[in-house]
Amino acid sequence: MARVGLTKERLTQAGAELADEVGFDKVTVSALARRFGVKDASLYSHVRNSQDLKTRIALLALAELADRVAAALAGRSGKDALAAFADAYRDYAREHPGRYAAAQLELDPETALASAAGKHSAMTRAILRGYQLAEPDQTDAVRLLGSTFHGYVTLEQAGAFGHTARDSQASWTRILDALDALLRNWPAA
């Protein structure tokens, strides 16, 4: 008999909360079972193993982040859209560090295709249409933005900017200014 209240959705949500508390790398079926005060076996009718649980958390995080970014982008274009996208991304990573780490999990191609990852790419490309970049420049710009946002967020979370007097928000704002200038003046091939 299944325990009352244990569902895939509830376990995924609890796993995401656990990831934010202790780190995504520490999320296991055993850790989640302890959280619910049950034996590991009680969870195996809902999740196959720790990798299945982590994949579910990654899919939840990708969907949450996509929803947040989409809401931030509504009605915006150009630099305003770029900043809204970047700020939503950064804010999510700051508020949900474990989920953010989960969103970086490598998914198998079929799972990735069915996830919100495609929505992230489409929203980034929508921003770039305002800068009138054609392929292959658009793909290069998507990669530039993703690596810049991820790199900054990761370094910021690790405390890498705490050794200087310059506020990290001030640097973030200048980086977005620089990205906007670069995208408006994309170099010719």
Helical segments of 48-158, H only: 50-73, 78-95, 97-103, 109-114, 117-129, 137-157
Q: Which of these, 81, 94, 106, 103, lies nearest to 180 by C-alpha position?
A: 81
Name the amino acid, one letter, at 148: T
pLDDT in tens, 50-92: 999 999 999 999 999 999 999 999 999 999 999 999 999 999 9
Averaged pLDDT score across all residues of the chain:
93
Q: Is 152 exposed, middle or buried (0-12, 13-18, 19+ CB in 10 A)?
A: buried
What is the pTM assigned to this prediction? 0.92
- Domains of the chain and CATH, by start: 8-184 (1.10.357.10)
Confidence of residue 151 (pLDDT cuts 50, 70, 90): very high
Q: Given a cut of 90, is residue 39 above it in pLDDT?
A: no
Residue 3 has pLDDT above 90, yes or no: no
pLDDT at 15: 96
d(C-alpha 143, C-alpha 170), whole Å: 23
